[in-house]
């Protein structure tokens, strides 16, 4: 059975290994070897150790092995990776839902992501729209956003009932 839990610093090495594996096996088809190497360098165990303190990380596990991870901070999805042999089983959707709930709880109503080429269709399926294409040191990414609009409506502040349009005398 797939487990979904908050990740801790002890998971950093396994999250790094998973992410590097997915980049080399899945994302590599859309990027140059240099861009792939650059991305793998970035997602080191030290990267995950340092970011875990300031972002929300979730891990998906199967038989105690980390087979997916996702992170959110400063209004952005920073990572969302599922093991290449387990795509299409709803794990990415569950991780994304965890991040959206975390955003909801933090009263963040717009979430951003710099999507990989491979994941663009996935984010579109879950209501993200494309703002533009960016070309940085990791290659092409799509700047995407999603509004958690229902939440905005619930959270909109109301005037207290005692407030009246007439000035007090
Ligand atoms: C993107 C990713 C996280 C999706 O994870 P996943 O577990 O395969 O996705 P799910 O099985 O939860 O998919 C949920 C739905 O999205 C659809 N979907 C998944 N990937 C899709 C894609 N690339 N394009 C269009 N639809 C996609 C699925 O078909 C499924 O639809 P359904 O509910 O109608 O069957 C995964 O493919 C991945 O790790 N990709 C490589 C790493 C990457 O690029 N990450 C994004 C970094 S920004």
CATH number of the domain enclosing 68: 3.40.630.30
Question: What is the whole-number distance in angstroms between the Cα of residue 91 and the centre of ligand 1?
Answer: 8
Please report the pLDDT score of residue 151 as a whole number. Answer: 42
Q: Which two tokens stand for residue 2?
A: 């797939």
Determine the Cα–Cα distance for residues 166 and 98; give it in Å rounded to an integer.
46
Averaged pLDDT of the chain:
91
Range(s) of the domain holding residue 6: 2-83+94-154
3-state secondary structure of 109: coil
What DSSP element (H or E) covers 140? Answer: strand 139-147
Whether ligand 1 lies within 6 angstroms of the CB of 139 is answered as: no
Question: What is the whole-number distance in angstroms between the Cα of residue 163 and the centre of ligand 1?
Answer: 49
> Is residue 62 domain-resident?
yes
pLDDT at residue 169 above 50? no
How many residues in the chain?
Answer: 169
Of 88, 124, 128, the one to substitute when testing ligand 1's pocket (max ligand atoms within 8 A of C-beta) is 88
Q: What percent of the chain has pLDDT over 70?
A: 88
pLDDT digits (tens, 9 = 90+) for 31-60: 999 999 999 999 999 999 999 999 999 999
Whether ligand 1 lies within 6 angstroms of the CB of 108 is answered as: no
Structural domains counted in the chain: 1
Determine the Cα–Cα distance for residues 83 and 101; give it in Å rounded to an integer.
23
Q: Tell me the residue ranges of DSSP E strands in the chain.
A: 2-6, 56-62, 65-73, 76-82, 110-115, 129-136, 139-147
> Is residue 88 domain-resident?
no
Please report the pLDDT score of residue 76 as a whole number. Answer: 97
pLDDT at residue 150 above 80? no
Whether ligand 1 lies within 6 angstroms of the CB of 70 is answered as: no
Determine the Cα–Cα distance for residues 75 and 78; give it in Å rounded to an integer.
9
> Is residue 146 domain-resident?
yes
pLDDT band of residue 86 (cuts 50, 70, 90) is very high
> Is residue 159 domain-resident?
no
């Amino acid at each position: 059975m797939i487990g979904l839990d908050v990740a801790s610093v002890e998971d950093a090495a396994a999250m790094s290994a998973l992410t590097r594996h997915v980049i080399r096996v899945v994302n590599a088809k859309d990027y140059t070897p240099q861009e792939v190497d650059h991305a793998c360098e970035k997602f080191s165990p030290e990267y995950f150790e340092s970011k875990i303190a300031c972002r929300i990380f979730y891990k998906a596990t199967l038989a105690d092995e980390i087979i997916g991870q996702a992170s959110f901070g400063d209004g952005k999805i920073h990572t969302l990776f599922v093991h290449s042999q387990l795509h299409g089983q709803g794990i990415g959707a569950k991780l994304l839902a965890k991040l959206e709930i975390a955003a909801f709880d933090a009263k963040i109503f717009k979430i951003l992501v710099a999507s990989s080429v491979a994941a663009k269709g996935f984010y579109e399926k879950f209501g993200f729209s494309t703002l533009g294409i960016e070309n940085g040191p990791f290659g092409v990414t799509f700047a995407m956003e999603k509004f958690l609009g229902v939440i905005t409506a619930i959270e909109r502040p109301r005037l207290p009932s005692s407030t009246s349009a007439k000035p007090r005398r």
